[in-house]
A and B are shown apart, each in its own frame.
Chain A
Amino acid sequence: MRAGQLPRWADYGLMPAINVVAAFLVSGLVVLLIGENPVEAVRILVWGALGWNEGIGFTLFYATNFIFTGLAVAVAFHAGLFNIGGEGQAYLGGLGVALACLALDRFVPWWVTLPVAVAGAAAAGALWALVPAYLQARRGSHVVITTIMFNFIAASLMVYLLVNVMAKTGSMQPETRTFEAGGRLPLLQSILPGVDFGSAPVNLSFVLALLSCVLVWVLIWRTRLGYEIRTFGASPGAAVYAGISPVRITIVTMLISGGLAGMMAINEIMGSQHRLLIEFVSGYGFVGIAVALMGRAHPVGIVLAAILFGILYQGGAELAFEMPAITRDMIVVIQGLVILFAGALEHMFRPLLLRLFGIIAAPASKPA
């Protein structure tokens, strides 16, 4: 352990935990401000998310979305890239899924549609990340700014497509027709015997998400490409000296990142909504940033962080139901606070912790 460094367990476990606790304490103050009891609110929230089968099902359903968008941000992080275009990439991913499902759902069973839909989602998401990646790699424009712009371009494009091109005939709703059985993923409870999630839409995508975590872990820590990505992220200069092409790494990493973000649409469109509709991403892409930060860009951490955010989403919905004064917007506030404390203020408690560890460590290193 070098000076000025925390032990690994503290860095990867304790610090994020402290940050999240701080975020929740401030959220408690907001609840107090509204004139409700924060302890009671937490009780309702946790029970609503974990206290019953359907609640757990919803929690896992939301967590699936967060795993995909979190992985997307994390992969880019490893290359030192900040992909905040997950929102737009997932939106376009929905287009890929919907095209696959609309083309195949009447002719083949779902397990034939699935690989095509996955390919469609990943390809569409990756395509939406390609232009920002190319511009960063070749023209030197910052990927953060271009991905923001592409989020808005995606929103305009999808509204246009859904209103003018893909809307089902004779309907004013900007959405496609509902997919037939061939375009619907089976629910988790219909695959796993003895599991009952009630009416929660948690589906096969959850397994797909966990599989993606394993693949990302293998990619980042067990392949040559992953090594190159991490090297480039740690020191672009050193990477160039080692013969790693910055252009190639930037573009490949962003394609993988965009593809993962696009996969989110499998869960939402093929797993739950069974039709393409506007604004189905509704912030999941942005929350992926918080998930990746809290999970320290490691798949295990991301799964844990995604489940935490799933709990927030599902518990927050229950909370809005039980305490009408606290609307669903409370979830957005808590997310904002978690992003603030676990992300932007992640080092705030570090000096304090260092001092604490210093006090504890000092007598041990210098026995009297």
Chain B
Amino acid sequence: MFDTLILILDSTVRLATPLLLAALAGLYSERSGVFDIGLEGKMLGAAFAAGAAAAVTGSAWAGLAAGILVAIALALVHGFACITHRGNQIVSGVAINFLAIGLTALLGQDWFRQGGRTPPLSGDGRFTNIQLPFAEALRDVPVIGGLYSELLSGHNLLVYVAFLAVPVTWWVLFRTRFGLRLRAVGENPAAVDTAGISVTWLRYRAVICTGILCGVAGTYLSVAQSAGFIKDMTAGKGFIALAALIFAKWKPVPVMFACLLFGFLDAAAIRLQGQEIPGIGEVPVQAIQALPYILTVVLLAGFIGRAVPPKAGGVAYVKERT
């Protein structure tokens, strides 16, 4: 029973990582007042770029760099449309999702001719699992061995990066000048403007942060978790991340718990496939898969607390009427 639990929690961590990275990515953008439903597209674009670059160069780090660059490029398109040209943020996000799905499949087929996949990665082309110190020695100790050697140790670098990004994001957002201004610009951009700070430049920096984290999230999918890019491999993870972000009320530490919860549901769904639960019977996998979305809707309905988005979210800032 304990071993099973550790196994499920272990896969929870693995499944929560891309959600966590993408949700934190969305946090920067949305806290600055730029809604982003294009997390999915940026992740997908990054996953493809990372898979392609790692396959060509044989280096996972080159993959990471390419993934981040592509995600930043897509984030800048979003910024150009929504910040500079005051376009509709939802429409821009939809456009980026379409572009990413189309371009990754089109270019993938043209470059590698493997039905939209990138060539399989091996060795240095992937981020391999890291054994934490003493993990081997502690393996046989009861409870601690399971927790430390199985659950905490033995993940790849990007998993640790994702969980490290939580305190870093908290610190940046709530303990730095940049973070204060970023939150302010999401609530009341006019006040920030009056203080002589450029709303445009602040929001651009926020969407670049979003790009960086989406890039890591995408790279994790194709270079760390899997050994190569597969067509449409994000499969809605960007939207689950968005749900987690809302579920966590746009706060970094709750975002982590929301992502772990949604990751756990995913892990449990895989585990429970075709199994009877005593007293309930067979739970349909689809019900568990839909649960993150249902939970988010219930939260939004105001039945478990209240999710209030940043006040200026979704509205482009108009400095002067001409």
Residues of A participating in the B interface, judged by any CB pair closer than 8 Å: 4, 30, 33-35, 82, 84, 131, 135, 139-142, 144-146, 148-150, 152-153, 156-157, 159-160, 164, 286, 289, 293, 325-327, 329-337, 339-340, 343-348
Contact = CB atoms under 8 A, between A and B. Distances in A.
A340 B287 contact: no
Given A152-B290, A339-B95, A141 B302 contact: yes
Contacts of B82: 344
A35 B286 CA distance: 43
A335 B99 CA distance: 8
A164 B110 CA distance: 39
A345 B81 contact: yes
A150 B292 CA distance: 11
Contact of B102 (A140, A332, A345): A332
How would you classify the secondary structure of chain A's contact residues: helix, strand, loop or mixed?
A: helix
Nearest to B308: A140
A336 B102 CA distance: 8
A186 B106 CA distance: 36
Given A4-B322, A146-B300, A333 B103 contact: yes
Given A149-B296, A289-B91, A348-B85, A332 B239 contact: no
B268 interface: no
Interface string B91-135: 110111111111101110110000010000000000000000000
Contact of A156 (B290, B297, B301, B309): B290
A327 B105 contact: yes
A286 B94 contact: yes
B37 A337 contact: no
Given A340-B95, A343-B91, A156 B286 contact: yes
B87 A327 contact: no
Interface in B282-321: 284, 286-287, 289-290, 293-294, 296-297, 300-302, 307, 309
B75 interface: no
B101 A339 contact: no
A148 B243 CA distance: 9
Nearest to B290: A156
Contacts of B87: 343-347
Interface in B58-88: 77, 80-82, 85-88
B91 A333 contact: no
Q: Lowest 10 CB-CB distances: which A-B pairs, in order?
A: A336-B98, A332-B102, A333-B102, A344-B92, A336-B99, A141-B300, A344-B87, A156-B290, A340-B95, A344-B81
B242 interface: yes
A336 B95 contact: yes
A335 B103 CA distance: 11
Nearest to A283: B98
B90 interface: yes
Contacts of B98: 286, 332-333, 335-336, 339
Nearest to A164: B284
Contacts of B85: 344-345, 347-348
A340 B239 contact: no
Contacts of A33: 107
Contacts of A327: 105-106, 109
26 contacts: A30-B106, A135-B297, A139-B302, A140-B302, A142-B309, A145-B242, A145-B246, A153-B290, A153-B297, A156-B293, A160-B284, A325-B110, A327-B105, A329-B109, A330-B106, A332-B105, A336-B95, A336-B98, A336-B101, A339-B91, A340-B92, A340-B96, A344-B85, A344-B89, A344-B92, A345-B87
B88 A343 contact: yes
Nearest to B106: A329
B167 interface: no
A140 to B, nearest CB: 7
A330 B307 CA distance: 39
B99 A141 contact: no
B124 to A, nearest CB: 29
Contacts of A325: 110
A149 B105 contact: no
A144 B90 contact: yes
Given A156-B290, A347-B85, A141 B95 contact: no
A346 B285 CA distance: 42
Given A84-B90, A347-B85, A149 B95 contact: no
B224 to A, nearest CB: 25
Contacts of B94: 84, 286, 289, 339, 343
Contact of B106 (A131, A140, A148, A333): A333
A149 B86 CA distance: 26
A327 B112 CA distance: 13
Contacts of B102: 329-336
Contacts of B109: 327, 329
B236 interface: yes
Nearest to B89: A344
B245 to A, nearest CB: 10
A45 to B, nearest CB: 15
A341 to B, nearest CB: 8
Given A148-B239, A159-B286, A329 B296 contact: no
